[in-house]
Amino acid sequence: MNWIGKIRTETIVTVVIFSVIDVFTIDGQEASFNWFEAQEICQGRGLTTETTGLSNKDSWTGRYIRLSQWIKIIGCYPDSNITNHYPRVVEIMERKSVGACQEICKNENSSTFAVKLNKCTCLKGLVNFDYMFEYSPSHCNYSCDSIDEIYSRECGGETAYNVYISDQDDSIMTNKSCMLLQCDHERRDPKFISSDCSHYYTKICLKQNSSNEQHIASNWSHSMERCKRSEPSSYMYGNLDLTNASGSCLSIPNGNSDVNWIGIARQSYAKIDQGWIIEDYEKAYFMLCQKCRAGKCTFSSCTDKINTKPFCSIKIQQIWIKILQRSYPHPSL
């Protein structure tokens, strides 16, 4: 029997409906917990922090607002580039968010991911996108459910996905959300600089030319829009190695030597606890967590203490759909 390059696809769909249960206090004694401690108690028992907030005492819920890790925009690609990639994991997000998709794919051990409205696709294995097959940004015109402007208009399109790569560089751990690249060849001081997103700088577009390279924009998001409206249209240059500023400077179009905005940033987003382990370094990214009393809820610091035992859910209180698609060689008949 001869084998040919046909692929048989196995799709596994898991649908789980969740309910809420009450969970103990430590050794039966009342104690005070911050959000991370409450989440860890629930997570350690295969549960998640509940989301209703119906207790008549202050209690933590599973809702939080956090800052993503660094996200590099790669481009806008046809549906087929994503749906034909194997293996991949597809999850349906509660909210359309680039940062939420990054968090989902981190827990799938995937650094490359694609977003199309509330569909998050984690691209596993070797991923190599050819810019020759890239769509213009006009094909990715869906907006996201965003707290800030970062990647707020890059949630795919009718026939396309926006593709991103995660980057966790411990040397650029900061509460600033947007990335600059300094290529000062005279002083030989190339470096990446994290910055507030509201400053005026020039930008580096992926498809740079003399007409768009020197235009100063009012902030990072405005710079992205200028690149998208330029001719040829593209995003800001994002596929750069944060550990190698010198090499990144050599790779940019037209050898621009100024300090420039690039297509690497971090997004603020809202999400619900899904029972994942939260590493210590990640806790610095959490901005606010929700606490409720009798259905009245507010967001506060995640390190505040509450003198109420944690309430946990069997899993998050919604329908969660996970589609795992794997490929196998299929023999010819």
So where are the chain's domains? 19-60+291-317, 172-265
Per-residue pLDDT of the chain (333 residues; tens, 9 = 90+): 333 333 334 444 444 444 444 444 444 446 789 999 999 999 998 888 888 777 788 889 999 999 999 999 999 999 998 988 888 899 999 899 999 999 999 999 999 999 999 999 999 887 777 766 889 999 999 999 888 899 999 999 999 999 999 987 656 667 789 999 998 766 578 899 999 999 989 899 988 765 555 567 789 999 999 999 988 899 999 999 999 998 898 887 655 567 899 999 999 999 999 999 999 989 999 999 999 988 899 999 999 999 888 888 876 433 344 445 443 333 332
In this predicted structure, what is the pLDDT of residue 56? 84
- Residue 291's closest CA among 99, 39, 44, 22? 39
d(CA 206, CA 185): 20
d(CA 293, CA 305): 14
DSSP 178-245: EEEEE--TTTT--EEEEE-TTS-BEE-BTT--TTTTT--BSSHHHHHHHHHHSSS--PBP----TT-H
HSE at residue 60, side-chain half, CA atoms within 13 A, is 33
In this predicted structure, what is the pLDDT of residue 30? 62
Phi–psi pair at 202, nearest 5 degrees? -75, 180
d(CA 319, CA 94): 9
First CA to last CA distance, the chain? 8
Q: Looking at this protein, which amino acid is placed at residue 62?
A: G
d(CA 70, CA 169): 8
